[in-house]
Amino acid sequence: MAYALLYHPMVLTDDIPAIPRNLQGRLARAIETRLATAPERYGEPLRGPFQRYRKLRVGDYRVVYRIVKQEVWVLAILHRKRVYELAHPRRTWRPSSQT
């Protein structure tokens, strides 16, 4: 079963450009092979303010996402040291197809 991957606008404009090039490919492969096929199997559930979200660990980076029906909403792809601090304001985001 394939899932549609939907990205928060800041993932494309801020998060990905800040990631070293050699890790961008590794993250892209992990997202495409894991999150697009079985996101509930690979990610760990989060707690607290990110209760409905999950995280996929790829080296020192975290992909914070939410599974909604047949979609995976990627909220952030950030370094582990700052991921929750920077992703916190993004929690209210919903893709335009869901509004």
Any domain includes 98: no
Domain span at 56: 4-90
* CATH number for the domain harbouring residue 69: 3.30.2310.20
What distance in Å separates the CA atoms of residue 37 and residue 2, rounded to the nearest whole number?
5
What domain count does the chain have?
A: 1
User: What string of DSSP letters covers 38-78?
Assistant: -HHHHSEEP-GGGTT-EEEEETTEEEEEEEETTEEEEEEEE
Comparing CA positions, the residue from 66, 78, 74 lying closest to residue 23 is 78
> How confident is the model at residue 1, as a pLDDT?
72
Any domain includes 66: yes
pLDDT (tens digit, 9 = 90+) per residue, 14-47? 999 999 999 999 999 999 999 999 999 999 999 9
Any domain includes 29: yes
Could you give the C-alpha distances from 67 to 7, 15, 60, 62, 85, in angstroms and in order? 12, 20, 22, 16, 21
pLDDT (tens digit, 9 = 90+) per residue, 63-98? 999 999 999 999 999 999 999 999 999 999 999 854
Counting residues of the chain whose pLDDT is more than 70, the rounded percentage is: 97
> How confident is the model at residue 99, as a pLDDT?
39
